[in-house]
């Protein structure tokens, strides 16, 4: 049995599911793109090759193992995109929540069954059908759970709206002892600079009481301000709209002191080092072309204080 334990985003990582790009399939047709960043690269002819994405993911797998992290991978589905493991499930405390994901992606859940089937059945949670949620929108943070959502009446018009308020309420019921705080995020089907696909595309808490944040991705300024006040203005690294679209906030903590970041994020990486973090730089710019980065492709199972 796997004994799950996730209470925050930064405690020392012991076990994780990392996505795979093997047999990723052909470049999607433009009308089949799930997000504006992918669409942008399909149009430009710069959509990433399977070979380049495999290379980037294997580099991260090797790095994680060098920190004594147990790395699980999904079973390979032929001609199927399985890179973003965070979308399809997430762990809070000792429970794994299987996401109600876009119907086209349900097979991805089955491809990780060899991991979650080893979790005691009473700790496996499938939310009701009316709850839409993806792991990129859900961040356990000690006695809080931060959740990105979209509250607009036009929710169904946005393929980029992945987590609804029904899911927020279900999480509050599931974890009544925690404070579930939701954030209304800006969505666009066509413009990556005006779209926060998930909460981790515009915000992420890291070690030493710090956080990375993009103000304009929050539709309610008071919700952005709540986060700034929670962490302290002096502890928040504000990213620009261009940096948000490049996924600057979508890095990944191995421990309170060690962060994996994309090697081209110069301004961010310099700041992290100036704050005393160890920054493990990796090549991940090809993965980023699909609208996700390091946090999106990793799904932590066990972290230890």
Q: Is residue 38 part of a domain?
A: yes
155: pLDDT strictly greater than 70: yes
Over residues 196-221, the mean pLDDT reads 97
Lowest mean pLDDT among 2-6, 25-29, 114-118, 243-247: 25-29
The answer to the question of residue 6 being in a domain is no
Closest by CA to 212, choosing from 158, 299, 277, is: 277
Q: What mean pLDDT comes out for the span 137-145? A: 98
Residue numbers of the domain that contains 218:
12-304
Residue whose structure tokens are 């009473």? 122
Total domains in the chain come to 1
Task: Please indicate, yes or no, if residue 91 is contained in any of the structural domains.
Answer: yes
Structural tokens at position 87: 């979308």
Decide if 151 is inside a domain: yes
C-alpha closest to that of 162 among 90, 253, 224, 107: 90
**What pLDDT, on a 0 to 100 scale, did the predictor assign at position 34?**
67
Is residue 7 situated within a structural domain?
A: no
Cα 230 to Cα 31, 70, 148, 239, 243: the distances in Å are: 40, 33, 16, 18, 23
When pLDDT is averaged across residues 52-76 and rounded to a whole number, the result is: 97
Least confident piece of the model among 72-81, 163-172, 276-285: 72-81
Residue 44 lies in a domain: yes
DSSP for residue 252: E
Tell me if 84 is assigned to some domain.
yes
Q: What is the CATH number of the domain that holds 190?
A: 3.75.10.10
**pLDDT at residue 25, as a whole number:** 74
The confidence score (pLDDT) of residue 168 equals: 97
Q: Which residue has the tokens 């147990």?
A: 70
- Is residue 38's pLDDT more than 90? no
Residue 104: predicted pLDDT: 67
The pTM of the full predicted model, rounded to 2 decimals, is 0.94
Digit-coded pLDDT (tens) for 254-300: 999 999 999 999 999 999 999 999 999 999 999 999 889 999 999 99
pLDDT in tens, 173-182: 999 999 999 9
**pLDDT band (50, 70, 90) for residue 101:** low
Contact by Cβ (8 Å): 109, 71? no
Query: Interior CA angle at 71 toward 70 and 72, to 5°?
Result: 120
As a whole number, the mean pLDDT across the chain is 93
Residue 102, pLDDT score: 62
Kindly state whether residue 2 falls inside one of the protein's structural domains.
no
């Amino acid at each position: 049995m796997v004994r799950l334990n996730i209470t925050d985003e930064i405690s020392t990582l012991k076990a994780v599911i990392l996505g795979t790009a093997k047999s990723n399939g052909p470049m999607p047709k433009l009308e089949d793109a799930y997000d504006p960043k992918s669409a942008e690269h399909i149009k430009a002819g710069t959509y990433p090759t399977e070979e380049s994405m495999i290379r980037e993911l294997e580099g991260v797998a090797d790095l994680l193992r060098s920190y004594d992290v147990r790395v699980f991978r999904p079973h390979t589905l032929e001609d199927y995109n399985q890179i973003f493991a965070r979308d399809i499930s997430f762990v809070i405390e000792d429970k794994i929540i299987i996401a109600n994901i876009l119907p086209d992606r349900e097979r991805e859940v089955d491809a990780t069954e060899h991991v979650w089937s080893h979790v005691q059945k009473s700790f496996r949670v499938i939310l009701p059908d009316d709850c839409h949620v993806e792991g990129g929108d859900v961040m356990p943070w000690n006695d809080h759970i931060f959740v990105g959502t979209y509250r607009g009446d036009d929710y169904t018009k946005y393929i980029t709206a992945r987590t609804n308020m029904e899911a927020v309420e279900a999480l509050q019921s599931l974890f009544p002892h925690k404070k579930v705080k939701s954030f209304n995020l800006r969505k666009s089907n066509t413009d990556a600079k005006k779209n926060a696909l998930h909460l981790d595309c515009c915000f992420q808490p890291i070690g030493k009481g710090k956080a990375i944040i993009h103000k304009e991705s929050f539709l309610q300024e008071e919700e952005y301000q709540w986060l700034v006040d929670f962490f302290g203005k002096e502890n928040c690294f504000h990213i620009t709209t261009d940096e948000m679209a490049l996924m600057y906030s979508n890095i990944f903590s191995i421990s309170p002191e060690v962060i994996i970041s994309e090697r081209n994020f110069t301004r961010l990486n310099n700041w992290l080092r100036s704050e005393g973090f160890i920054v493990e730089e990796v090549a991940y710019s090809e993965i980023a072309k699909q609208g996700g980065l390091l946090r999106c492709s990793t799904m932590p199972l066990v972290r230890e204080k």
